C-alpha cells in the first residue's frame, strides 16, 4: 500500500474516533478522572479512544506494532510501529477547554514516515507523508516566512510532573518573552507542532515529552518546510529523546542560541 493511500485510511479512522471524543466532551463527568501520577490525568475517554484506534489500525497494517500512551497494546513490530496519543491535551478536555487532539505517527524502522493530527473541536485534520508534503483539511500548508526571532510567535509547554528544571525553563521562557512577539501555551504538543507547520507559530520548544506527543508533529513540520532538532541541535532523536525544538527553519539558530545560554 502506498503511503498516501494509507494516510487517507488513517485520516478516516482518526475522524471516527474524533467524533467519539467530541460527543463525550459534551457530557464528560470530572468525577471519572484518574491519576497516573502527579498532574498526569487519564479518563475512560483516553482509553476507549486508544482501543478504537488500535483496532482499526491493526486492520489496515496487520504487521505493525504499537507505541501507545495508555498502553492498551504494547507489542512492537519488526519494521512498522504506530505511535499513538489518543487524546493529547487530556487536561484541556477534562476542564472543557476545546483544544485537544488525536496524534498518530507511523514509524518505519527508526524513521517517521506518516503523521496525522486531528484537532477535534475545530475539525482540523493535519497530515503528512514522507516526501509528500503537509496538509490541513486537504490544503497544502507551509511554515511561515518570518526571518527573525524578534518577529516570531513562540509556543511551548510548561512542566507539570517533573519540576527539577523549572528554574532553568523559566529563564529560557523569560528570554523568549523578551526577544519575540510572545510565548503561548496551548496544552497539546501535537497541536503546537501542527500550528508551526501551518505557519501560525514560528517555533516550539519543550522538554520531558514522549514519542507519542511529537511523532506525528515532527514529520508535519519537516514536510511543511520546517526544521526539528534537539535543544543542542546534535545527533539525538527529538522523537524519543524527550526534548524538541521545531521551527520554520529561519529562526531555528536564534532559538537554539537562547536555549544554550541556560540549558
The domain limits of the chain are 3-140, 149-261
Name which CATH class applies to 149-261: alpha beta
Neighbours of 248 (CB within 10 A): 24
Q: Model-level pTM?
A: 0.94
Alpha-carbon distance of 25 to 152, in angstroms, equals: 33
233 annotated binding-site participant: no
88 annotated binding-site participant: yes
DSSP state of 2: -
Domain 3-140 CATH (choose: 1.10.3720.10, 3.40.50.170, 3.30.540.10, 3.40.920.10): 3.30.540.10
pLDDT per position as a tens digit, 28-84? 776 666 665 544 456 788 899 999 999 999 999 999 999 998 888 889 999 999 999
pLDDT per position as a tens digit, 183-204? 999 999 999 999 999 999 999 9
pLDDT per position as a tens digit, 77-125? 999 999 999 999 988 998 899 999 999 999 999 999 999 999 999 999 9
CA-derived radius of gyration, the chain: 17
85 annotated binding-site participant: yes
29 annotated binding-site participant: no
Question: Alpha carbon of 184 to those of 70, 138, 189, 219: distances in Å?
Answer: 27, 26, 12, 22
Core vs surface per residue 60-93: b (16+ CB within 10 A) or e:
ebeebbbbbbbebbeeebeebbbbbbbbbbbebb
Neighbours of 186 (CB within 10 A): 20
Alpha-carbon distance of 73 to 71, in angstroms, equals: 5
- DSSP lists the bridge partners of residue 129 as 114
Structure-block grid coordinates of residue 71:
498502553
213 annotated binding-site participant: yes
Amino acid at each position: 500500500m502506498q503511503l498516501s493511500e494509507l494516510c487517507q485510511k488513517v485520516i478516516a479512522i482518526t475522524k471516527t474516533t474524533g467524533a467519539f471524543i467530541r460527543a463525550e466532551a459534551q457530557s464528560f463527568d470530572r468525577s471519572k478522572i484518574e491519576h497516573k501520577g502527579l498532574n498526569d490525568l487519564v479518563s475512560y475517554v483516553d482509553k476507549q479512544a486508544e482501543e478504537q484506534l488500535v483496532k482499526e489500525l491493526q486492520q489496515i497494517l496487520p504487521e505493525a506494532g504499537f507505541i501507545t500512551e495508555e498502553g492498551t497494546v504494547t507489542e512492537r513490530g519488526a519494521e512498522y510501529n504506530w505511535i499513538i496519543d489518543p487524546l493529547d491535551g487530556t487536561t484541556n478536555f477534562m476542564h472543557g477547554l476545546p483544544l485537544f487532539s488525536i496524534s498518530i505517527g507511523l514509524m518505519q524502522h527508526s524513521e517517521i514516515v506518516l503523521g496525522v493530527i486531528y484537532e477535534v473541536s475545530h475539525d482540523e485534520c493535519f497530515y503528512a507523508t514522507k516526501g509528500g508534503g503537509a496538509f490541513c483539511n486537504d490544503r497544502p500548508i507551509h511554515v511561515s516566512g518570518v526571518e527573525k526571532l524578534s518577529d516570531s510567535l513562540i509556543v511551548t509547554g510548561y512542566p507539570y510532573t517533573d519540576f527539577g528544571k523549572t528554574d532553568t525553563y523559566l529563564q529560557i521562557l523569560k528570554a523568549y518573552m523578551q526577544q519575540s512577539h510572545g510565548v503561548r501555551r496551548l496544552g497539546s504538543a501535537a497541536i503546537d507542532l501542527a500550528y508551526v507547520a501551518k505557519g501560525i507559530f514560528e517555533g516550539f520548544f519543550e522538554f520531558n515529552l514522549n514519542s507519542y506527543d511529537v511523532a506525528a508533529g515532527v514529520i508535519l513540520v519537516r514536510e511543511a518546510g520546517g526544521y526539528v532538532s534537539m535543544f543542542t541541535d546534535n545527533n539525538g532523536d527529538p522523537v524519543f529523546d524527550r526534548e524538541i525544538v521545531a521551527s520554520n527553519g529561519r529562526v531555528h539558530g536564534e532559538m537554539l542560541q537562547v536555549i544554550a545560554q541556560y540549558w
